[in-house]
Copies of this chain bind each other. A is one copy, B any other.
Amino acid sequence: VVTGGPFRPGGVISLTTDFGLEEPYVGVMKGCILSRLPGATLVDLTHGIPAHAVPIAGFWLGRAWRYLPPGTVHLAVVDPGVGTSRPILAAEAGDSVFLAPDNGLLAEALRHESATFRHMDPGLPERIGLGPPSATFHGRDLFAPLAAELAGGRLLPADIGPAAEPADPAPLPEAESEDDVIAGHVILADRFGNLVTNIGAGLLSRMRQPVVEAGTRHLQIEAAYGAAGANAAVAVINAWGLVELAVNGGRADRMLAMSPGSRVRVVDGTPA
């Protein structure tokens, strides 16, 4: 297979959706993929994105996609506009291809990448043998077959359709840094009750002694969750390079009574 760019399809497809696992929506998408590309390698990133939470899907896809092999097709379907005229967006960035509804989902993953964006040509589905899609499940009717064709190298990214400007990014608040004070927010509480913020470690680099203000607490950055005492609150730089609030052996969301949107500040605790 010869491609114009550096994308060399490797038969790997990652999946990110808000479909959950209670109904067979994801399984049906996988069946559609395997029907077109037997032997495809399917990697669930997560199907637990809260319903319709495009910004959270973008956040996690942005953190996760670089850990997949080169040549992966990243399929992300959080699609409150399914069945409306919102286009299907494909992006080629380095050695990877992305496919998603054009609702801002891909912006976070690609904001530091040189990416080529395209809108799916409305005639493409028929050309690859697809019938009219249903009103409610384009994951099955369009996205899965397209991902299979891309991952199998039978469809090149450039074949998806004309170059296009993607929709505005799905809005996640950004941390603001001013006068040695960084003002950010909790983005999400994960399964452990850990509170992931939008404050990147880079913003702290000028500070002598960063102190994280979370509610009434003032926390220093520690090297591990376990650096705090049992059931004590702790701030760490997490695996994504972000300030995270946790409780050693407990749940920060409950103990700190904080949730997505809660304000978090970092100040420089050492007088000059």
Contact = CB atoms under 8 A, between A and B. Distances in A.
Interface of A: 10, 12, 14, 16, 18-24, 26-28, 30-32, 34-35, 38-39, 41, 43-48, 51-52, 60-61, 63-64, 67-69, 72, 80-84, 134-137, 140-141, 190-193, 223-227, 236-239, 244, 248-249, 251
Contacts of A226: 80-84
A22 B44 CA distance: 11
A79 B130 CA distance: 37
A43 B20 contact: no
Contacts of A239: 134-137, 140-141
A133 B263 CA distance: 28
Given A82-B224, A84-B227, A191-B20, A67 B31 contact: yes
29 contacts: A18-B192, A21-B44, A21-B47, A22-B190, A24-B60, A24-B61, A24-B64, A27-B43, A27-B45, A28-B63, A28-B67, A31-B43, A31-B67, A31-B72, A35-B68, A82-B225, A82-B226, A83-B223, A83-B225, A83-B226, A83-B236, A134-B237, A134-B239, A135-B223, A135-B238, A136-B236, A136-B239, A137-B239, A141-B239
Task: Tell me the number of copies of this protein.
Answer: 3
